[in-house]
Structure 1
Amino acid sequence: MERVETDFLVIGGGIAGLFFALETSRFGRVDVLLKGSFTHSSSWYAQGGIACVSSPQDSFESHISDTLKAGDGLCKADVVKSFVEEAPMRIADLIRLGVPFTKNAEGNYDLGLEAGHSHRRIYHVKDHTGMAIIEALKKEAKKRKQIILWENQWAIDLIIIDKICFGAYVFDKTKKITRLFISPHTLLSTGGCGGIYLHTTNPSSATGDGIAMAYRAGALLKNMEMIQFHPTCFFQQSSQKFLISEAVRGEGAKIINQSGEHFLKHADPRGELAPRDIVSRAIFLEMKEKNIPYVYLDIRGKQREWLEERFPYIFSYCLSQGIDMSKDLVPIAPAAHYQCGGVATDTYGRTSIVGLWAAGEVACTGFHGANRLASNSLLEAIVVAGRAAKSSISQNNVLRSGSCWDFSYCPVVEKNEQSASDILIIIEETRKLMWDCVGIVRSVAGLEKAKKEIGLKVDFFKNKEKKEEIVSLLEVKAKNIALVAAVIIESALQRKESRGAHWIVDYPKKLDVPQDTCVSLSSL
């Protein structure tokens, strides 16, 4: 089996992974593995921007307060304070690296407003911020000789020996071979798990691979029940939904039902600018009560020219679907959007496994709590990635080149999906089950039903692996989806309250003292 040795291994090519690579490349070779291409990460689809205090009318205290309120009692206050105060330095880094944040007519940065924020503080590149940041970081990474970018690489499992991470087993989807990537420092930056739900804003590649690998490696997972649903996704039949940025509501868009009623005011006095969990739940309950598949986003009061300039990507997409935002109502419905929990880390991205760091959506630092504040995700990703780089650089290498460890591993192959209909059925059944039973509004009965059915699927793959020496890539995907689903259900059953993104009808009240939910290898 081919073996690649490197000083730093990065699994995931989004904003966290690329920034970590740039920071560590001055100290050694860095190999960055992308599951697909640069356009397949959730970072690429990030529309809104990065929250950062810079206006004289704003303050760190205000940003901290907004974050804590959105997090609904589960944020770690010291973590929030630390990240918010570091934000201006990280924005300066991105500007230095060539990110063209949008400016106004006066030449100042055009700060956006999004739900949950009390001031304008969102640095953005119109409505395609993620794309612009990825392009800038990718351009810089390609200049660095120490950085090797690998596309179409599927990380199958982490290499763990004596509870230390030494890299990963990786399947090359182009050459159809499995490689060993050996490294004393491995960063998980694999994104989230929206792809395990029937409806999601995430790319189809977001199937929780990092969570599944970390769990199998023995890492601690935290608050995995906190799956955030984005309230305003363009209503359509495809599983991946087109996101309509919260910034549209920040610029005055209203949410109305088929009768034209502005129903959000009954759920929260902040209306459209209430945190995402509140807005998503209000829309879900309105749709359920009225038995309707969607509601509407109304921004018809804005001129077409202004909309095309401020939201070119969103306006163009809506137009391709026959909707002129300046004249027409936009049909919307919620969809799974962001994983607020994840692999438990400290503020430097260190996990419970030596040699393994995590940054971005895959990680849980305590910053987002029970519900992420809009545009705090890219902020957390770049702060933690930068700190993880410093931490890994300072840690002594635990692996020597030429080590004689036995890195044997079951081979993986690609099969024609048409010849694996049973596996595809398992994937679709899991996604539907998660949407129906582990979605915006939950119940103990629904969670118990999902636990039983998902448990059978997890056991199916365990038994299959015992019997077969060769595993298909599709089976790896299905196995990860089922495992991550089981972790989320287990976490949801642990929480005996409704808080943030976790709303359960059996326990509608919050506990006086919120606690983190934790899952590890011994839990399932």
Structure 2
Amino acid sequence: MEKIDIIIIGSGIAAMQLVQHLSQQFHVMVLTKSSKYNSNSYLAQGGVAAALSNNDDYRLHYEDTLEAGCHFHNNKEVLELVKSAPDLIQELKKSGVTFDLNNKGEILLGKEGAHCRNRIVHIRGDATGKYIMEYFLNNMPGNVEIKEHEFVYEIIIDHQSNRCIGVKTKNAENQIQQYFAPHVVVAVGGIGGLYPYSSNASSITGDGVALAYRAGAELTDMEFIQFHPTLLYVNGTTHGLISEAVRGEGAILVNEDKERIMLGKHPYLELAPRHVVAERIYAQLQKGKNVYLDISMIEHFMEKFPTISALCEKNGVSIAKGMIPVAPGCHFLMGGIVIDSVGKTTINGLYAIGEAACSGVHGANRLASNSLLEGLFFGRKLAYYLNETFHPFQEISFDQVKVNMEQQVLELPSKKEIQTRMMEYAGIIRTKEKLTAFLRWLEQFKINSISLDTGSITQIEIIFMLLTAKQIVKSALLRTESRGGHIRKDFPNEDETWKRQHIIQTKNKTFVRGYPNEFTQITVHA
């Protein structure tokens, strides 16, 4: 049996930051079901938020984060996140990452929705994720082995010791492999592929959440899903993200009648929190009115946003005309696998970081450009923890791990049907009636006890989508209020009785628990 110390599932920014900071004495294996370049992190147009300017302060970043997320956070973790942000940027800069600079040679800072200051760090305008990821992938430590196109479909649990001991995988030929390690990290991204419109990479279908759930880990806050307001929308289909930085440069949202749709809806107008803008665009589309991002006032647009310009031209949208058709699409999961302050889940030996995890830093709605920051923050934090506390296997029986090759009849819907129903019944606007009907549809598929050893990768992905969709719907039904990324048409307002209540889900039960929040009192500069 090959000796592996740490297995990392996923190859996005959280995973890559983790491997950069792990001790090189460890044998680290990274498993990714697609190409290492096919990740949400690589696609990220937005930048990294950090209070770097003289007129900014981490306290203001903290307040903006809490305000955007409806004060539903683990405040202590948020404070540590925003205080660490400048150091994380400087660490990357010293390592050789070249951020965009202003004419004084200082890091250029952009503005995005719900930020009170310019604090967004970019690389080449709208390709921040790509260039950070390429830096990581081009500087991979020698102790790290990356296996691409290997789909992790099961987390192996040793029930005698009640700990995670490894994973099962399948490749394109449906061959099964087992890898064992005393520490396994889930870092596979979110749930964008559950919806027909999404900014996410094609490989993101809720695998991490489903893997942890099947293994017995706790999930929380699955109802909180952020829809990015502006995806390129052509002929009834979305084709990629139009970064919030475009609105930060002054672009405005108008409908086909040239009416500015955010007037009177929020003091920040187009730069309101994402759930506010997404809901407004969605309401216009429901009325049969197309919505456009008017970029006519932005000089040198193609130079400032080369990635977006190429995306538009590729899909027949002329930048010269100054009007980009947009629609909201699934962007980010605020909930996920329950973790503690370093990334430990409720299962010994199993960790989670990045979007698959729920650390409490995003509350009910993530602040723009805090996602790459979260990956950098928790990747480094978990690495430091593992470097200090690593424990090899002790008294583990590997011969009990069996592969079940008994064929099973699987009656499953198509991915497209799941996606269509998710948008219709559990999308931007939700009601008890639609959620209940969708849950009944989901429950007809008896998938909880199915062995995945004989299923194809496509079948397993569908099972994971159904499992994850069910947890989202159950949470959305229980939370009888509108808060952040969870909008209930039948309960349109925030409810104080729900403010500190979090919906926890495991294989065996669903319950409500007060969040172990530590309210952090700080003085915010005027």
Task: Give the TM-score of the pair, scaled to structure 1.
Answer: 0.92
Please name the residue that 1:111 is paired with: 109
Displacement of 1:404 in angstroms is 4.0
Please name the residue that 2:138 is paired with: 139
Q: 1: distance between equivalents of 2:2 and 2:202?
A: 28
Displacement of 1:421 in angstroms is 12
Displacement of 1:279 in angstroms is 0.3
Q: 1: distance between equivalents of 2:291 and 2:20?
A: 43
Q: 2: distance between equivalents of 1:95 and 1:405?
A: 47
Q: Which has the higher mean CA deviation after the structures are superposed, 19-28 or 44-53?
A: 19-28
Q: 2: distance between equivalents of 1:118 and 1:9?
A: 40
Instruction: Provide closer, same or farther for how the CA distance between residues 368 and 412 of structure 1 changes in structure 2, counting only shifts above 3 A.
Output: farther
2:292 to 292, 296, 303: 296
Q: Which has the higher mean CA deviation after the structures are superposed, 514-523 or 112-121?
A: 514-523
Please name the residue that 1:247 is paired with: 245
Q: Which has the higher mean CA deviation after the structures are superposed, 85-94 or 217-226?
A: 85-94
Q: Does 1:520 align with 2:518?
A: no
1:470 to 435, 447, 454: 454
Displacement of 1:449 in angstroms is 0.6
Alignment of 1:216-255 (within 5 A): 216-237=214-235, 241-255=239-253
Alignment of 1:148-167 (within 5 A): 148-162=145-159, 163-167=162-166
Please name the residue that 1:417 is paired with: none
Contact kept? 1:178, 1:411, Cα under 8 Å:
no
Q: Does 1:316 align with 2:310?
A: yes
Contact kept? 1:101, 1:123, Cα under 8 Å:
yes
Please name the residue that 1:209 is paired with: 207
**Percent pairwise identity:** 35
2:321 to 323, 327, 342: 327
Contact kept? 2:189, 2:208, Cα under 8 Å:
yes
Q: 2: distance between equivalents of 1:183 and 1:394?
A: 17
SS in 2 for 1:95: helix
Q: 2: distance between equivalents of 1:259 and 1:412?
A: 60
Displacement of 1:399 in angstroms is 1.1
Please name the residue that 1:454 is paired with: 442
Displacement of 1:349 in angstroms is 0.8
Q: Which has the higher mean CA deviation after the structures are superposed, 489-498 or 319-328?
A: 319-328
Contact kept? 1:113, 1:247, Cα under 8 Å:
yes
User: What are structure 1's unaligned runs of at least 5 residues?
Assistant: 414-419
Q: 2: distance between equivalents of 1:101 and 1:412?
A: 54
Q: 1: distance between equivalents of 2:137 and 2:143?
A: 14
Give the residue type in structure 1 aligned to 2:478: Q
Please name the residue that 1:433 is paired with: 421
Give the residue type in structure 1 aligned to 2:138: K
SS in 2 for 1:234: strand
Displacement of 1:238 in angstroms is 7.5
Aligned pair count?
504
Give the residue type in structure 1 aligned to 2:275: D
Please name the residue that 2:375 is paired with: 381
Q: 2: distance between equivalents of 1:96 and 1:326?
A: 38
Contact kept? 1:241, 1:335, Cα under 8 Å:
no
Contact kept? 1:430, 1:454, Cα under 8 Å:
no
Q: 2: distance between equivalents of 1:308 and 1:145?
A: 39
Q: 2: distance between equivalents of 1:322 and 1:48?
A: 23
Alignment of 1:469-508 (within 5 A): 470-508=454-492
Contact kept? 2:50, 2:85, Cα under 8 Å:
yes
User: What are structure 2's unaligned runs of at least 5 residues?
Assistant: 511-526
Q: Which has the higher mean CA deviation after the structures are superposed, 231-240 or 270-279?
A: 231-240
SS in 1 for 2:317: coil
Alignment of 1:22-421 (within 5 A): 22-125=20-123, 126-141=125-140, 144-162=141-159, 163-173=162-172, 176-237=174-235, 241-288=239-286, 290-292=287-289, 294-303=290-299, 306-400=300-394, 404-410=398-404
Instruction: Provide closer, same or farther for how the CA distance between residues 354 and 422 of structure 1 changes in structure 2, counting only shifts above 3 A.
Output: closer
SS in 1 for 2:156: strand
Please name the residue that 1:511 is paired with: 495
SS in 1 for 2:104: coil
Give the residue type in structure 1 aligned to 2:427: G
Contact kept? 2:481, 2:491, Cα under 8 Å:
yes
Higher helix share: 1
Q: 2: distance between equivalents of 1:220 and 1:398?
A: 24
Q: 2: distance between equivalents of 1:353 and 1:238?
A: 43
SS in 2 for 1:265: coil
Q: 2: distance between equivalents of 1:299 and 1:412?
A: 58
Contact kept? 2:174, 2:456, Cα under 8 Å:
no
Displacement of 1:45 in angstroms is 0.8
Displacement of 1:208 in angstroms is 0.6
Displacement of 1:521 in angstroms is 1.1
Displacement of 1:206 in angstroms is 0.5
Please name the residue that 1:13 is paired with: 11
CA-to-partner distance for each residue in 1:207-246, whole Å, 9 max, x for gaps? 0101000001111111011010000000035766310000
Q: 2: distance between equivalents of 1:412 and 1:313?
A: 48
Contact kept? 2:156, 2:167, Cα under 8 Å:
yes
Displacement of 1:508 in angstroms is 1.3
Instruction: Provide closer, same or farther for how the CA distance between residues 402 and 438 of structure 1 changes in structure 2, counting only shifts above 3 A.
Output: closer
Instruction: Provide closer, same or farther for how the CA distance between residues 239 and 186 of structure 1 changes in structure 2, counting only shifts above 3 A.
Output: farther
The CA RMSD over aligned residues, in Å, is: 2.1
Displacement of 1:110 in angstroms is 0.8
Contact kept? 1:302, 1:326, Cα under 8 Å:
no
